[in-house]
Chain A
Amino acid sequence: MVVVSTPIVQADDLRKTYGRGETVVTALDGVTVGFQAGALAAIMGPSGSGKSTLMHCVAGLDRPDHGTVTIDGVETGSLDDKRLTELRRDRIGFVFQAFNLLPVLTAEENIVLPLTIAGRKPDPDWLEHLIATVGLGDRRDHRPSELSGGQQQRVAVARALASRPAVIFADEPTGNLDSRSSEEVLELLRRSVDEFGQTVVMVTHDAHSASYADRLVLLKDGRIVHDGPAGGSEAVHERLRQVTDPDAPNPPAA
């Protein structure tokens, strides 16, 4: 099945280095990748492969040294800080590894925070639907400190969904969770794609998490070394092993 559609997020020839002289580290070495709407993509790779940097650059949190990023038709390189901030606010949702909820706000207040920042009122039906979906109906007035890790992360997912963004970036969303909570969060991300047609890009180092994705992008040394359907966790494992094994020859970039 070949769906020809303009990707909602498109990155072209991204390059980024840190440090200088002897200690220079090439985090991204010419990465071109596009993410189609209504799909869950997983970015994987060993430590230092550049996967986090890729996500930061694609999500408009960091600027690449070279190359362009287009989100929902907007080329981010030319945006000033104010425009970029507005783009993040209105078109992008985030889920971080360390839940990143504001401890002084309740679960519900955290969920609507992006809307509050934008000075908009949440659509009450959508909010109820969201809270029901993430299964926090009875916890909406609790502070983050009164929630379990899984619950906190579900709040974070709901927050990302609240403004119905063009794309949600999830950075190791299950990194701090036990397996049951991980399961819940991954289910939730999956459902947001299937039920709401949300676009999700997830960075992970966990093969099981990646198996929830439609597509797997593998990075090594700042380059894409694999890009294709994710398959089950066994398949992901196999791909990963090939990439991380120093003896294995680098498969050609897709």
Chain B
Amino acid sequence: MRVLLLRSLRERFRRTVMTSLAVVIGVALISGTLIFTDTISRSFDEIGEVSYRGVAVAVTPAVPLGTPSSEGSDDDRGLRRDAVDRVAGARGVRLAVGQLEGRAIVYRRDGRTPVGSNGPPTRLLSTLPPGVGGVRYTAGRAPAADDEVAIDADTAERAGVRVGDRVSVQGEGPRRRLRLVGLAGLGDGTTFGPRPTVLATQATAASILRRTPDRYWSQVLALSASGTRDEQVAADVRRVVGDGATVRTGEDQGARQAKEIKDRISFLPTILLVFAGIATFVGAFLIFNTFTITMAQRQREFALLRALGAARGQIRAMVAAETTTVGLLGATLGLLAGFGVAPGLRAVIKALGVDLPTTATVFSGRTIVVGFVVGMAVTAAAGLLPARRATRVAPVEALRDAAAPPGRGRVPRGPVLAGLAIGVVGSVALALALVGSVEGDTGTAFAGGGAGLLFLAATLISPVLVGPVARMLGRPLRRIFGLPGRLAQDNASRQPGRTAITSSALMIGLALVVFATVFAAGLRETLRGDIERVVAAPVVVQASGGSFSGVPTSVVGAVRRAPGVTSAGGVGFSRVAVGGRRASLTIFDAEALRTGLVRLQRTDGGGTAGDPGPGGAYVTDTVAGDLGARAGRTVLARGTNGEQHPLRIVGIVKGSASAVSGVVVNGATAATFGTTQPFFVVVDGRPDAVRRALARDYPATEVLTRSAWITDQTGQVNQLLGLVYALLGLSVLVALFGIVNTLSLSIQERIRELGLLRAVGATRAQVRRMVLLEAAITALLGALLGAALGFVLAAAVGATLDGFALSIPVGQIALLVALTGVLGVVAAIRPARRAARVEVLDAIAGE
């Protein structure tokens, strides 16, 4: 039997490989993601470790309520300037040094184009004395004088500047031209991790970042006297700095910093794994279908073995071994491919503007285990049913007429009813998750599981739809193509189960694509509505390319001085802790509110909100509900600088996820909480005049009219959508493999029939067309079902989001459906060619 197994596999080698390809893509994506994640994770650990080498204690501003999130920037925190003296005075401290860190812009050689504006914002660091931290100069030296800077080697290369050149750097004021005296890196590297980094002396950094004595240091590092334990020194330092600052050992701080960055990008592997999972799920359909068909074709072989006395168990074992081989092969190839995927992912992310650091590739045991488990489990699960069917063949089948193509398959009622039941369960699970009856991880599991069940249900039900849809699509095909169209329709609905599964694989991919499309369209419209309601200013200034790095603080003043500008104000975002909860902090300069450049709709008493005044705040209805806050009450709030101030609530405004959320204060109040940097500036004036005013000192800004700016903002959703398309494209690719596989198997089965067609006068072109049209019908069936399902899912999810504007991008969906049909035809080109090549005599000769 082993001989037979090995021969079978070898004989059907191409098919075996084709089938395992379905697993390869999924496993490659999974293992690639794991390798990539492990690798960057280790890199960040190393960076954290190197950055705090030799540092006994690190003092940072207290962060309200745990880890900072991605809202706002954490660079605007600051310790008071005298903190360094206090730390130096603590017992066991040999030396205390402060370090400044803040957002900055580095320009290319031309002095006008910012470098790396797409990734995390460039930062400016003040230098530390030699021996503290892990900075190493790969060329030149450390900056020592006022007009000197060093840049990390990678960024310098991208900026096209060399040691000795002049380079433009901009912090919170106008850009400054400085002399590049060194190229730096952390440890052995040529970067400081993903963030482009500029180094300058403390004095230069302070002036570029416009630091004030009460918000000065980003961190204070202490070196210990010999013979003291870091923990002991940390305890002593903690005693002298009070609770406005966090004190950790250098080792802790390094690990903490690594963890913060990893947490911040943790969504990335999660997203990648979700898409890898989808591709694997789709792959399972392909495997199921391929096995089902090949098992059907080999029925006579199995029947013969049974007639010759092979027990059911023996056949089952043989089929199981074949399945296992496919799984093993797929998992192994997938793992190997994962090595290629990991750097590929890095390249993709780098292309998106984030250059994540990588050390030597980390290939952990977990990656191998997960890869094999997923590959084997998916194959085994998908192959289970076909294997069971194979063993159920009656020995007498061996004596039936040779190679009769399977007749018209009927749709068994059981699976359809099961599909309906599963559909109900899936809908309930999804509904529970969406209305929030189950929350957190359970909720996510319910939502994901519910959607998965819906797909399964649609797959089980779809065989009954094959006939009607094929007829619907077949009518025009028949009219246009005549006989081939008719036969294509017939062939597609001949084995409804097979066609249904093939198209289901495509359905899943398309459902998700349509879901993303509809959801993104809704998001875009919601965002547009939110922004349009709030921002009334005719002109908006933002960082070039709309990057989230914001604009230098001094831009607001520069805009106000521009001719013809009657009013202007900065708009910023940060976070704050109020009443023990974290909340977003939305900042509008008083002038913007007073002059109506931004309009906040009040929900208590109506009208528009004016300037809340110093120490005053509006809260959104959501926050008001959470805090039980009313106008007139005062709450204590802690800002990103660790300072706590009372906030007097002056009213309640209508919130929206994208424009106004949490607590609304004016710029002056925000400054007391440590936030001064605006994200953009709203202006009443003429765009060209503003543009001229900013051209010299602020080349990294762009001035847009209101409508252009809104389009730009909402357009960022499209970027995200593009990424989702690319990742879902892999699932669609797997599904297309399915079409190729199913069609070539069906053609093999119908060789005689095809020969007969040719014998009675069908031309090769007609046969080819027939196969292509069958593929088109299959693909369109999947596309239509997918589009419907995707739309329903998007509508369901959208309905639960407050103020979500559901819009139907009809044109886009129609385009996607049509595109899927075309892809189906493209996938069928090879099988169609093979069908057309069938020689009449060969086919009739049989066997």
Binding site for B on A (CB under 8 A): 52, 56, 61-62, 81-82, 85-86, 88-90, 92, 94, 96-98, 100, 102-105, 109, 113-114, 116-119, 159, 171
Tell me if B310 and A89 are in contact (CB < 8 A).
yes
Q: How far apart sit A92 and B8, CA to CA, in the bound complex (Å)?
A: 26
Which of A89, A109, A117 is packed against the most chain B CB atoms within 10 Å?
A: A117
Tell me if B310 and A96 are in contact (CB < 8 A).
no
CB-CB under 8 A from A97, the residues of chain B are 399
CB-CB under 8 A from B398, the residues of chain A are 96, 100
Give a binary string over B300-320; 1 marks a CB under 8 Å from any A CB, 0 the rest. Answer: 110011111111101000000
Contact of B847 among A62, A90, A98, A104 (CB under 8 A): A98
Tell me if A105 and B7 are in contact (CB < 8 A).
yes
Tell me if A56 and B308 are in contact (CB < 8 A).
no
Contact of B308 among A62, A82, A109, A114 (CB under 8 A): A114
CB-CB under 8 A from B311, the residues of chain A are 82, 85-86
Quick one: closest B residue to A162, CB to CB?
A: B308
Tell me if A61 and B314 are in contact (CB < 8 A).
no
Tell me if B399 and A105 are in contact (CB < 8 A).
no
Q: Given A104-B11, A105-B7, A109-B3, are A117 and B396 neighbors across the interface (CB < 8 Å)?
A: no
Binding site for A on B (CB under 8 A): 1, 3-4, 7-8, 10-11, 300-301, 304-312, 314, 394-396, 398-399, 402, 847
Tell me if B309 and A116 are in contact (CB < 8 A).
no
CB-CB under 8 A from B399, the residues of chain A are 52, 56, 61, 96-97, 171
Quick one: closest B residue to A118, CB to CB?
A: B309
Instruction: Report the minimum CB–CB distance from A43 to chain B (whole Å).
Output: 14
Tell me if A117 and B8 are in contact (CB < 8 A).
no
Q: How far apart sit A103 and B11, CA to CA, in the bound complex (Å)?
A: 9
Q: Given A56-B396, A61-B396, are A85 and B304 neighbors across the interface (CB < 8 Å)?
A: no
Tell me if B4 and A116 are in contact (CB < 8 A).
yes
Which of B1, B306, B396 is packed against the most chain A CB atoms within 10 Å?
A: B396
Tell me if A117 and B402 are in contact (CB < 8 A).
no
Tell me if A88 and B309 are in contact (CB < 8 A).
yes
Q: List 6 A-B contacts (CB under 8 A).
A: A96-B304, A102-B301, A102-B305, A104-B10, A113-B4, A117-B1
Tell me if A86 and B7 are in contact (CB < 8 A).
no
Instruction: Report the minimum CB–CB distance from A235 to chain B (whole Å).
Output: 29
CB-CB under 8 A from A92, the residues of chain B are 309
Tell me if A85 and B396 are in contact (CB < 8 A).
no
CB-CB under 8 A from A88, the residues of chain B are 307-309, 395
Which of B311, B394, B399 is packed against the most chain A CB atoms within 10 Å?
A: B399
Tell me if A104 and B8 are in contact (CB < 8 A).
yes
Q: How far apart sit A174 and B59, CA to CA, in the bound complex (Å)?
A: 95
Q: Given A88-B395, A96-B398, are A104 and B308 neighbors across the interface (CB < 8 Å)?
A: no
Tell me if A114 and B309 are in contact (CB < 8 A).
yes
CB-CB under 8 A from A100, the residues of chain B are 300, 304, 398
Tell me if B3 and A116 are in contact (CB < 8 A).
yes
Q: How far apart sit A90 and B308, CA to CA, in the bound complex (Å)?
A: 9
Tell me if A117 and B305 are in contact (CB < 8 A).
yes
Q: How far apart sit A119 and B305, CA to CA, in the bound complex (Å)?
A: 13
Tell me if B309 and A86 are in contact (CB < 8 A).
yes
CB-CB under 8 A from B301, the residues of chain A are 102
CB-CB under 8 A from A159, the residues of chain B are 308
CB-CB under 8 A from A96, the residues of chain B are 304, 398-399
Q: How far apart sit A119 and B847, CA to CA, in the bound complex (Å)?
A: 29
CB-CB under 8 A from B314, the residues of chain A are 117
Tell me if A104 and B7 are in contact (CB < 8 A).
yes
Tell me if A116 and B396 are in contact (CB < 8 A).
no
Instruction: Report the minimum CB–CB distance from A107 to chain B (whole Å).
Output: 13
Q: How far apart sit A81 and B311, CA to CA, in the bound complex (Å)?
A: 8
Tell me if A94 and B308 are in contact (CB < 8 A).
yes
Which of A61, A90, A103 is packed against the most chain B CB atoms within 10 Å?
A: A61
Q: How far apart sit A62 and B399, CA to CA, in the bound complex (Å)?
A: 11
Q: How far apart sit A90 and B310, CA to CA, in the bound complex (Å)?
A: 10
CB-CB under 8 A from B306, the residues of chain A are 85
Tell me if A61 and B309 are in contact (CB < 8 A).
no
**Given A61-B307, A85-B309, 11 extra CB contacts under 8 A:** A56-B396, A56-B399, A61-B399, A89-B309, A94-B307, A96-B398, A102-B305, A104-B10, A109-B3, A113-B308, A118-B309
